[in-house]
Amino acid sequence: MTEFRRRMAAVTASAAIALGGVVALAPQASADVFCSYIPDSARPYVYPNQNNDAVKQAQCLILFESGFGMNNAVQIDGKYGQQTYDGVIWVQHCNGLSEDGIVGPNTWEKLYHPNYACQRFDN
């Protein structure tokens, strides 16, 4: 479970308890629970200036899985702009991939299976 998810679970649980609710915490969820704009098996190339569901999937994974989105303005809007480009470059750089800003097979793999040592929760 990513640090972001742990923090969100703690906040959600605290809020629910404060409001008199009961909280049942689920086991660690995979990215497909949070990011389901396209099937996990569909990994098309994603390029700057595109606007589609594959971009949304990449943005969601950058936001919830890579750690980059914690302190950056990555929005899940399907528009591959500067914030998405910065997130893709971050993931590629941190994982030793070619920093081309294109989400191809290797970048998708790292988005779905992030290197948690790369996460930036302290910025």
pLDDT at 118: 78
The angle subtended at Cα 72 by Cα 74 and Cα 64, nearest 5°, is: 60
Phi, psi of 108 (to 5 degrees): -55, -45
pLDDT greater than 90 at residue 4: no
End-to-end CA distance of the chain: 19
Spatial contact of 55 and 108, defined as CB atoms under 8 Å apart: no
pLDDT band at residue 71 under the 50/70/90 scheme? low
Residue 109 has pLDDT above 80, yes or no: yes
Distance CA 56, CA 52 (A): 7
Number of H helices, E strands in the chain: 5, 0
What pLDDT, on the 0 to 100 scale, is given for residue 120? Answer: 58
Averaged pLDDT for residues 77-86: 96
Would you state the pLDDT for residue 28? 39
Q: What is the pTM (predicted TM-score) of this model?
A: 0.70
